[in-house]
Amino acid sequence: VQQLPLDTLSIRGGQLSLDVDSGATQIALQDIDLEPTGHGVGDASIGRIQLARGDWIQEAEDVRLRSLVLRTDQLGADNLLLETDLVRLEGGVSLDGLERELSGEVQVALNLAELNPLLPEESELEGKIESRLVLSGQGTEKVAEGQLKAQTKLTRRKIRTHVTELSELQGEVQLNRDGLVLIGAEGPYGGGQLRLDLRSGWRGEDVEIQLSGQQLDLEHILREESGFPVPWVGMTGSIEAKLRGSFAPFSLAGGAAVEGRDFRVVPRGLRSGRPTTFELPAASLEGKVLLNSAGTAVEIENFETAKSQGDAELFMGRGPFPVFDLRFDLGDLDYTDLA
C-alpha cells in the first residue's frame, strides 16, 4: 500500500476478493470507484460487497465513502455507511501516522435473526443489538468500546421447547484483538433481574463470567430454560456466581452462592391445586456448578435453613426428557423443617 500513489489514485470498476479462515469465508468487493478530489482526499463507492460462508450470504449495495482520506500518513473516511440485512454501520474512522493510530466513532445495529442459517436447524435466534462505539489505539492494541443495548431470544425446539430470553440488556462493551468484554450489563431475566460481566475470546474460548441475580423465579426458569411445562418445584431467590470455561464446546464451571425463600414442592405442578408436600420458608447454599450441553449440575457443599444444615446435589437436565433431581444429606436436621 505504501508504494501506491495514494494522493492521485483513481479507480474505475475495480474488483477485490479476499479469502478468510483458510477459504471458509469469502469477501468480494465489486464495482469499486474512487475519484480523487485533491490533497489525498476522494469520494469512493462500492457497487456491491458480498460476505459468504457456505450457504450463508450477506450483501450490501451502493456503499458510499465520502471524504475518503488516502495518504501515506492517514487512511480514513468521515462518512461511512454500510447496510446489509444483518448489520447497519454508520460513522467515521481514521488511521493516522506510521503506527496507524485508530480514531473515530461508529453506530452499529445488528439484526440477530440473520444469523439463524449459521445455527443448528432446531434453534431460532431473534432480537437486535445496538451500540455506539468509540475507536482508539494503535498497532495491535486497537479497541472499540461503548454502550450496548440488546434484546435477544434463543429458542431451541426439540421434544421440549427451551427459551433463553434477555429482553432488555444494557451495559458497556469492549472489542479488542483478544475478543469481547461485557461490563456491568443489567436487565430482566427469569422473572427477576440479572447483572452480567463477561469476557470471551472470538471463538468462544477463554470465557470468564461473573453474574448476580435478584428475585429470580425458579418456576419461570424451569419452564422456559429447561422446558418443564409443569414445574413441581418453586422458589424465589438470588444468586452470585463466577464461572470459567468455553462456549464452544459449551462447558462452564465455578462457584455459586444462592439465597432462597418460599421453597416448595407440589406434586403434579405448582399450579395444580394439590397440597404442598414439602416447603421451607428460607434456605441458603454454597457449592460448585457445572454447566454443559447435558444440563446444570450443582454440588452443594453447604446447605442451611434456620434449623438444619448439610449438603446436597442438584441436577437440571437439558435433553429431550429433562431431569430435575435434588438430593439432600442433612447431617444436622430439625424434623420440624419436614413438617
Under the banding of pLDDT at 50, 70 and 90, the label for residue 55 is confident
CA distance 67 to 60: 20
Determine the residue type at 136: S
- In sequence order, what DSSP letters do the residues of 286-335 get, joined into one string? EEEEEEETTEEEEEEEEEE-SS-EEEEEEEEE-SSS--EEEEEEEEE--G
Mind listing the pLDDT tens digit for each residue in 212-262? 999 999 999 888 887 788 999 999 999 999 999 998 888 999 999 999 999
CA distance 168 to 156: 20
**pLDDT reported for residue 338:** 67
Mind listing the pLDDT tens digit for each residue in 121-170? 888 999 999 999 999 999 889 999 999 999 999 998 877 888 889 999 99
Determine the length of the chain: 339
CA distance 70 to 264: 68
Residue 159, SS3 per DSSP? coil
Query: Region 69-85: what's the mean pLDDT?
Result: 83
Mind listing the pLDDT tens digit for each residue in 88-128? 999 999 988 877 899 999 999 999 999 898 888 888 999 99
**pLDDT reported for residue 5:** 60
- In sequence order, what DSSP letters do the residues of 189-253 get, joined into one string? ETTEEEEEEEEEETTS-SEEEEEEEEEEEHHHHHHHTS--SS-SEEEEEEEEEEEEEEETTEEEE
Least confident of 66-75, 106-115, 303-312: 66-75
